[in-house]
Amino acid sequence: MEELNLNDLSKIQEKAIDMAFQFGPVLLKAVILLLAGRFVIKMLIRLLTNALSKYEVDASLATFFKSFLSALLWVLLIISIATTLGMQMTSFIAILGAAGLAVGLALQGSLANFAGGVLILVFKPFRVGDTIEAQGTLGSVESIDILYTKIRNFDNKVVTIPNGALANNAITNFSLKPTRRVDMSVGVAYGTDLKKTRKVILDILNKDERVHEDPAPVVYFGNFGDSSLDLTIRCWTDAADLWPVYWDSMEAIKEAFEANDIEVPFPQRDVNHYYPEGKK
């Protein structure tokens, strides 16, 4: 029995050695191909990045191209490794097709995101660097990848949104036009001279070099409020100066009101108490 076991062990060892000599070089070749292919993919992506930067290709297209090329090269590398390991190309394509169908059904959302990314790059509702509002997020577009778009909001959080959702829903682009309208509103006390107030506000806006002369700034009386006469103020400026003009103008208007004795009222109520006849 012991001799039989030794013979079996010897046969197993011989078979293992034969398999090692048979499959070892192939496996080693596949590992070398994997390492070399990984290095080549990194080099090609780096060359593509430099080329896109050199020719000043739009940042949105550049990010998408790099993501797509990387995915394509890895698929080709996997096919090459499978072929090296002895898998027949026809069989591998059949398996890949069946797997692709199964994965396609399982990843319908991802395919929709890929199509959404293509639509975004074709129709360009926004670009990298634009300030947009979409899906409840307001911020600057950091990158457009093959499946997702990254938006950095103004408190430095990065929100990742699927491209399919962006391509099929409303998007507000704040950077598409070079100029923006600044909307402000102030309230003054009842009895205030509106012509004087309008002149004070327009003098402030006309002195600000950031405010455009055409269209000219305007001040309209808009509403009889509960405690104030409500004024609507509108002027135009460069998109980058929108909020600085708003903040500086509101502060300057407040100081000008104080200097010209224009009262900004606070909420108030008149309360009248009626007593029955003969009562104090």
Q: What are the tens digits of pLDDT across the range 132-156?
A: 999 999 999 998 888 889 999 988 9
Q: Residue with structure tokens 């980058």?
A: 240
Residue 279's region, left for phi above 0, alpha for psi from -120 to 50, else beta, is beta
Residues present in the chain in total: 280
3-state secondary structure of 235: strand
Q: 41 lies in which domain range?
A: 19-106
Of 86-95, 173-182, 255-264, which gets the smallest average pLDDT?
A: 86-95
Name the band, by pLDDT with cuts 50, 70 and 90, for residue 255.
very high
**Quick check: is 11 in a domain?**
no
Name the band, by pLDDT with cuts 50, 70 and 90, for residue 85.
confident
pLDDT given at position 4 = 46
Tokens of 173: 């682009």
Do residue 82 and residue 128 come from a single domain?
A: no
3-state secondary structure of 206: helix
Q: How many domains does the chain have?
A: 3
DSSP type of residue 274 = P
Do residue 131 and residue 70 come from a single domain?
A: no
**Quick check: is 275 in a domain?**
no
What CATH number should be reported for the domain holding residue 81? 1.10.287.1260
**Quick check: is 51 in a domain?**
yes
**Quick check: is 233 in a domain?**
yes
Q: What's the pTM value of the predicted model, to 2 decimals?
A: 0.58
**Quick check: is 252 in a domain?**
yes
pLDDT given at position 237 = 96
